[in-house]
Structure 1
Amino acid sequence: MQAESGGAARVTVVDHPLVQHKLTMMRDSDRSTKGFRELLNEIGMLLAYEVTRDLPLEPVTIQTPIQPMEGRRIAGKKLVLAPILRAGVGFLDGMLSLMPSARVAHVGLYRDPDTLQAVEYYFKSPSDLADRTVLVLDPMLATANSAVAAVERLKSRGAKDLRFVCLLAAPEGIARFQAAHPDVPVWTAAIDSHLNDHGYIVPGLGDAGDRMYGTR
C-alpha cells in the first residue's frame, strides 16, 4: 500500500498483489461482462479492507466456549456505503459481504456527453450521515466531476467523515477532486497516465458501467 502525500488529503494506492492481478484481468478488453462484474466485486472487497484499516475499536467483554474474555469491536455507528450510480454499485456486494450491517446511500449521477459535467437524477441516504463514516464508491476517478458533485451532495446532508474509493484514477481527476474536497482522502488501485479528449482514463479499462452491464 503506497500513500502519496501533499497539501490535500492523502491518496492511497493499494498495491496488494491480489488487487493488481485482478485489475490487470479487468483491463483486458476480452474479459466477459460476467468476468468483469465478478472481478469488480472481488476488488471492492479487497479495497474495503484497506479503507477501513483505521476504524476505531472499543473493548467488549464476551463469553467464549472456554471462558470470558475482553475482545474488541468497531466503535460508533455503522458505516454508510454510498455508490455513485450506476458503476459504483459494482463495489457494493463485495463490501456488504464484509460489512453486512452498513447503511447504503444511493447517488444517481450521469455525465453529460457534451459538457462532461455531472447531472443528478436520484439521491437517497440515511438521515444521520453526520454521525457515520461514509465511503463514496465509484470505479473511475476521471474528470472527477461526478465524484465532486456526489461528495458535495453528501456533505449537504451533513456528512463530515468521507472517504472516496475507486478502481482507477487519472492525475487530472485527483487534482480536481482534491481542489474541491481537500479533506476527503482517496483510495485507488492505480493512477493511470492521463485523460483523453473524451474524458476517458488512459490506458484505463473503458467505461466501467458499460463493461459491467453489457451496454454501450
Structure 2
Amino acid sequence: MKKFFMAVALICVSSFALTLEDVKRGLSANVINPDSLEYRVHTVVIVPTFGSQATDYHYVTKGKNKVYFEMRSSLVNQRMIQSGEKMKTVDLVTQKERITSYNGEIEKLASVQNVSNTLGSGNWKEPVRIEGSLYKIEGDSSVVYYDSAKKQVQKMEQNVGENSSVMTFEYDDATKQISAMHISVLVGAQETKVDMTFSVYQSSAKFPDRYFEF
C-alpha cells in the first residue's frame, strides 16, 4: 500500500512538472512579433574609468524590410530608415540626408535592445525548480531564471571564458511587457553597467507608413 501511494505521488508530481516547452509557450504568450515592434528606451552606460553616457533610442519595425531607428545622445544624433534594400540616414542636427544601400547597419546598432528571444537559440536543459514559482534553466553558456506564475524571465547569467554578465528584467504590470533591464558586464576586473528604461514597448501597427517613404 505504501508503494502504491508513493507511485501515485510521483505521478502527480511529474504531471505538474514544468518542461522547457511549457516555458517557451509561457514566454510566447506576451511576445510582440519582432517584425511589428516599436519601442523607446533610455540607456545609460556606466564605465568606471570613463564615466557615464546616456542615449535615447526609438526603434520601429513594420515587416521584414522596413525599420526606423533613431538615436540621440551628446555624441550622436542620427536617424536611419531602411526601406527594402535602401537606407536613408539623417543627421538630426544639420538635417542633412543621404541614401545608400542597406547592409544591416541598424541590426548591429539595435542588437543590445533585443530582449524578446531569450531561449530562441542554443541548447537548454529542462527547468529545475528553486522555490515557489521560480525555476532555473541552464544553457550552453547561460542560466535563465524563470517565474512560471508570471510567465516571465527574471534574470539571465552568462559566462564566456573569463568574462561574465548578469541581466535582470522588470515588467509593466498592465501590459506584461518589459519596462527595464539592468546589465552588469565583467571583463577581467572591470565592470560595465548598462541601465535600460523602456517608455514604450508595443506593436507598431499605429506607426505611420509615411516615415518609410524616401
For the superposition of Structure 1 and Structure 2, which TM-score range results when normalised by the shorter chain?
A: under 0.3
Between structure 1 and structure 2, the one with the greater Rg is 2
Higher share in helix = 1
* Structure-2-length-normalised TM-score: 0.25
Normalised TM-score (structure 1): 0.25
